[in-house]
Every structure is written in C-alpha cells, then in structure tokens.
C-alpha cells in the first residue's frame, strides 16, 4: 500500500483537505482533494481525484457537529478508501503565528500551547486550526504534524509598514501589523515566473478576494505590505467582517451602546461586511443575483473598498506592473473583477472585457500599461511543499 500524507485546512464550518500519495520513492501525487462543509448544520462530504472525478459526494451523519467529529468522518472515509496505508505527515494551515512563528514548524505541545494564546487575535480561524492538530494528535500521536502560518509570508515588512502607532510600551507585546492569506500569496508568487514572467520580478498587487479578503503588495516576489494587519479584520470588506473601521466606532459600541467585548467580537467577525450591509447574505454569488438595493450596496461597497485599497498599495509600490485576482470571488466573478479593474483604470489597467468574461488567465488588453490576471490559488499545495521540506520528504509534483 502506498504511503500517504495529508494537508488540512480547518475552519469554523468546513474542513478542506488534500490527500497525497507516494507511489514510489521519488514522487508525491494528489490522490484526493475535498472538503466537509456545513459542520454543525448540514454536514456534507465532497471529494474529487486529481482529474476531477468525483470520489465522494454525500451527506454526513448529523453528529458531525464540530472539528473533532469532522476529522473522525474524514478518517473513516480515508480508511474505507485506503485501508492500511501509512500516514507519513500532516500539514496544517494556521492563521496566526504571532511574533514567534513565521516559518513553518514541526508541532510540539509547547508550540501548540503558544499558538493557543493567539486565539483572541484570530477567533474565527485559530481555534479551529488548532482543534484539527489536537484531533490528529489524539488519533495518530506518532505522526509528525507541521504548522504553516498565514502570517509567515509577510514577515520582513519594513518597520514603518508593520507599525501600529500606539504608545511604544503597549506595542512591545507584539502589537504590529502582520498580514494574512500568506500561504495564498506565497503560492501565487511561486508560480508567477511561469504564469506571467514579464511581471514576476516587478511591482504586483494580488487581490485575494474570498470570504476573507485582502491585498498584498509584492516587489520582486516578496511581500512588502498587506491590507490586513494585527488581526484579520482590517482592510477590505469581507463576507462577515467590516474591513477597515474608524476605531472610534468600536469605542462607541462599548461606551454608548454598552456592548460587551464578546458582543463586539461577534459583530466584527460574524455579523458585518457583506452580511451586515445587505442583511441578506455573506455570499457574493448570492448578492450578485439579488435585486434588493441592500444587496447592491454591499457589492458596491466591496468594489469601492477594494479599489481604494489598491490605490493605497499602488502608492506604497510607487505604481504597479500587474494586478492579480485570486480566491473564490477573484477567480470566479467576472463582474466584480470588471468593476474593480474599471475603478483602477487611472493606474493604467485596461480590461479586455471578452477575456475577463471568458475567465482567461490574462484579462487586460495587449496595450494595457498594467496587466491584469486571474490566477487560481492553491494554499493546500503550499502547505504540502512546506510540510514535505520540513519532514525531509520529496516535494509533491502537482
């Protein structure tokens, strides 16, 4: 039986995973890619192989109410498919590495405990990321696990880009701008020399537009700034998070409305952004299909904020050579891409509307001063690369 390795990306209501197989000493190949969605509501398992052939697509027992139960459901599906196979390692996406962890690390109990302390800085992701490590540790205590951090790719920003302008004594405890979605940006930076060699060494803004959304400014393939900061609340409007907010608003919530810290946290992470503005949905596809003015306003604000932040990062880079779209909205919504490109035409983006509507890789005209691209992200592959290199395994080939 071939050896296996797993990549897990555990969220609050979903568990995304990739199964890699090693048919011989040299190669790792993707054997399956899938997710358990609707954890705690209507859990469903869907899995495809590397060619897109459906391996599983079925509802799960309603007992799959949390991350532990989701890992159990995944383990039972894996056993049914590859009974007796050895698991050589498990790689995880961890949203926040804090001051201490920017490079991928092999998990220890001490590191796990350090990462638990960062839960208040990423309550929407960190507890679920760490619960997956715990769940694997319980079931496969001898299998090495690797944590890969979403903050890691942004380490090395200039002092001024990292600064939070509060009193120094307060900032000493690690209060600085970290940036997130780093695994997505790192993957795209790694394939830019193939996809768009003419801009790979230049000044590039990547727009990761999904349920969470942010921008990254790249110079010569390295992150120099990001729209996200200390937590994953800053910058762009997101599915349920507001993006940049006047801090006075938060004071108002506490002082004038008398909300508690937990209530404010819930509002900022789960009730704002597209959902808060529209009162209808946090899902861009859903909002684009609706006629209600509130749905339109939510999309308008999403586009407005993205264009505004692109202008800010273009200033950081003193102009840009390319604008790249990725993640659920960036890869799939030609309408949102069109509107953001039109709002960025002053920078020199000249959209090729046909290429954009057809979902081509390059979506700007040949004469566009700034080229625009759609590049599908692959955070799981990036985690796999880090995991294999730390564990001394071969790199996956695809």
Nearer to ligand AMP, 183 or 329 (CB): 329
**Closest CB 5 distance from ligand AMP, rounded Å:** 23
Question: Rounded to an integer, what distance in angstroms lies between the CA atom of residue 200 and that of residue 189?
Answer: 7
**Closest CB 306 distance from ligand AMP, rounded Å:** 13
**Closest CB 276 distance from ligand AMP, rounded Å:** 14
**Closest CB 258 distance from ligand AMP, rounded Å:** 32
| Catalytic (active site) residue 225 | no
- Pick the catalytic residue from 3, 61, 72, 150: 150
**Closest CB 328 distance from ligand AMP, rounded Å:** 2
The Cβ-side half-sphere exposure at 32, using a 13 Å CA radius, reads 21
Nearer to ligand AMP, 116 or 285 (CB): 285
**Is the Cα dihedral 329, 330, 336, 340 positive or negative?**
positive
- Relative to beta strand 203-209, strand 87-94 is unpaired
265's CB contacts (< 8 A; 6+ apart) are 123
Nearer to ligand AMP, 168 or 291 (CB): 291
Nearer to ligand AMP, 88 or 323 (CB): 323
Nearer to ligand AMP, 210 or 396 (CB): 210
Give the residues lining the site for ligand AMP (CB under 6 A). Answer: 210-211, 239, 283-285, 288, 327-329, 332-333
Q: Is 338 helix (H, G, I), strand (E, B) or coil?
A: helix
Q: CA 292 → CA 211, 289, 305, 362, distances in Å?
A: 21, 10, 20, 33
Neighbours of 366 (CB within 10 A): 8
Structure token pair of residue 232: 């994953």
In the block, tokens 């932040």 appear at 309
Nearer to ligand AMP, 134 or 342 (CB): 342
Contact 2, 85 (CB under 8 A): yes
Nearer to ligand AMP, 144 or 179 (CB): 179
Q: Is 347 helix (H, G, I), strand (E, B) or coil?
A: helix
DSSP notation for 78-146: HHHHHTTPPEEEEEEEES--TTT--S-EE--HHHHHHHHTTGGGSTTTHHHHHHHHHHHHHH-TTS-EE
Tell me the Ramachandran region of residue 299: left when phi exceeds 0, alpha when psi lies from -120 to 50, beta otherwise. alpha
Question: Rounded to an integer, what distance in angstroms lies between the CA atom of residue 162 and that of residue 379?
Answer: 24
Structure token pair of residue 229: 């900061």
Q: Which helix (H) or strand (E) holds 35?
A: strand 29-37
Active-site residues, by number, are 150
């Amino acid at each position: 039986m071939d050896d296996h390795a797993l990549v897990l990306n555990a969220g609050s209501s979903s568990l995304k995973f990739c199964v890699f197989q090693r048919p011989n000493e040299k190669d790792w190949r993707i054997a399956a890619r899938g997710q358990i969605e609707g954890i705690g509501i209507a859990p469903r398992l869907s899995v495809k192989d590397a060619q897109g052939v459906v391996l599983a697509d079925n509802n799960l027992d309603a007992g799959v109410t949390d991350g532990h139960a989701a890992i159990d459901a995944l383990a039972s599906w894996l056993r049914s498919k590859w009974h007796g196979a050895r698991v050589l390692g498990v790689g995880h996406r961890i949203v926040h590495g804090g001051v201490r962890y920017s490079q991928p690390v092999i998990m220890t109990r001490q590191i796990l405990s350090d990462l638990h302390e960062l839960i208040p800085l990423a309550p929407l992701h960190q507890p679920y990321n760490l619960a997956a490590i715990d769940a694997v540790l319980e079931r496969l205590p001898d299998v090495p696990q690797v944590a890969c951090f979403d903050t890691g790719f942004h380490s090395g920003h200039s002092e001024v880009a990292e600064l939070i302008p509060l009193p120094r004594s307060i900032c000493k405890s690690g209060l600085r701008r970290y940036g997130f979605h780093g695994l997505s940006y790192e993957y795209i930076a790694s394939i830019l020399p193939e996809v768009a060699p003419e801009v790979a060494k230049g000044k590039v803004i990547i727009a990761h537009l999904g349920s969470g959304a942010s921008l990254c400014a790249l110079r010569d393939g390295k992150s120099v700034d990001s729209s996200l900061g200390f937590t994953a609340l800053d910058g762009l409007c997101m599915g349920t998070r507001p993006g940049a907010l006047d801090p006075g608003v938060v004071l108002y919530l506490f002082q004038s409305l008398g909300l508690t810290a937990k209530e404010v946290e819930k509002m900022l992470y789960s009730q704002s952004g597209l959902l808060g503005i529209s009162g209808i949905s946090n899902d861009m596809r859903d909002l684009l299909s609706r006629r209600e003015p509130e749905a339109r306003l939510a999309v308008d604000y999403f586009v407005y904020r993205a264009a505004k932040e692109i202008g800010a990062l273009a200033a950081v880079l003193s102009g840009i050579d390319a604008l790249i779209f990725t993640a659920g909205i960036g890869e799939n919504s030609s309408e949102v891409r069109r509107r953001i490109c039109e709002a960025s035409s002053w920078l020199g983006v000249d959209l090729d509307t046909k290429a954009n509507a057809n979902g081509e890789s390059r979506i700007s005209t040949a004469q566009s001063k700034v080229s625009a691209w759609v590049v599908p992200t692959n955070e799981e592959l990036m985690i796999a690369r880090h995991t294999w290199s730390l564990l001394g395994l071969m790199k996956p080939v695809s």
